[in-house]
Amino acid sequence: MSLLALNSPLTAVPEFHNLLNQSTTMSTADIKKLIPAHPFLIEAAEVHEILQTSGLTLHELMQKLIPIAQELSHPAISQYKVGAVGLGESGAIYLGVNLEFTEFPLNQCVHGEQFLVANMKNAGETGLVSIALSAAPCGHCRQFLNEIDDGQSIKILIPNRSPLKLSELLPDSFGPQDLGFKGGLLNPLPMLEANHACPVTAKALQAAQQSYAPYSNSQSGVAIKTRDAQIFTGSYLENVGFNPSLSPLQTALVALFVAGKDYEDISEVVLVEDLAPMISQAAITEQLLKSVAPEAAFKLEKIDLPQRQWRIQKCGNTSIH
């Protein structure tokens, strides 16, 4: 029997939303003692151990992790702390927070749910089962979540409400299928060879090959090297609504924060993209890097990347421009 079946209140208690309202003796401080020092990823085995120790159900634990996630956010502009807690198909729990960048356009902020999905993508997670939030997700994030394969079935857990499916929060949605594609933001991609003399560029190349870019086919990846010689990577993640897409630097910054690092730790950033991409990440990557880590070096590498064959569906009468 799976971890979900053993611990999910959906299988044991019909009125799950009433269970969330029940008080419990486990405080936030108690929960902190049971989780890793950097709790952005709690492996399935650790989740099971925490449930056994605490006596909480899986979804109760997810709800209690929200304020812990909020404490880790970086809302430099709004001062509004967002925390998102997601359950992966593997049984692992992931946290997401909002990242805001001062002196930079608001549309470059990373929403909590976007951080969560980028965190899952970076960790190799293949699906999002449910997500716990302190309030309903904004429209931007609903659209972003809809890019995940079978995203409409993701359960949204909000205090004092029955569990909802994303389809209930995003009716009459515009999704990948409307442009002739099947969504698969978290679907695993085959790892291709990424040989390069420079280890930082090699990591950026590997990240580029893991891009989800069905609409522009413009793969790109970023590698961040820190002052202690660690390397963190991020892949370009597209969205059918275009605007909710995440740049490779944004997803690499997610990896940086998951590891407990900060902007001042960045010493070098390498961006790898195709020789002649439909869209380039170079300008926005360099600008954002200057905003968050002005002393860091930036290098652009143009490489002939193998093109992915994205799964395409017939569009019927849909007109694609």
Stretch 267-273: mean pLDDT:
99
Under DSSP, the state recorded for 55 is -
Strands 155-157 and 164-165: antiparallel
Given the residues 113, 125, 147, 273, the one annotated as active site: 113
- Based on the residue annotation, tell me whether 113 is a catalytic residue of this protein: yes
Cα–Cα distance list, 161 to 87, 129, 140, 272, 303 (Å):
18, 18, 21, 44, 50
- Whether 35-179 and 199-302 share one fold: the answer is yes
Looking at the predicted structure, is the pLDDT value of residue 59 above 90?
yes
Cα separation of 40 and 244, whole Å? 22
Indicate the pTM of the whole model.
Answer: 0.89
The pLDDT tens digits for 131-146 are 999 999 999 999 999 9
Domain boundaries, the chain: 35-179, 199-302
Cα 310–Cα 311–Cα 317 angle in degrees, nearest 5: 115
Confirm or reject CATH 3.40.50.300 for domain 35-179, answering yes or no: no
The pLDDT tens digits for 191-244 are 777 778 899 999 999 999 999 999 999 999 999 999 999 999 999 999 999 999
Would you identify the CATH topology of the domain 199-302? Cytidine Deaminase; domain 2 (3.40.140)
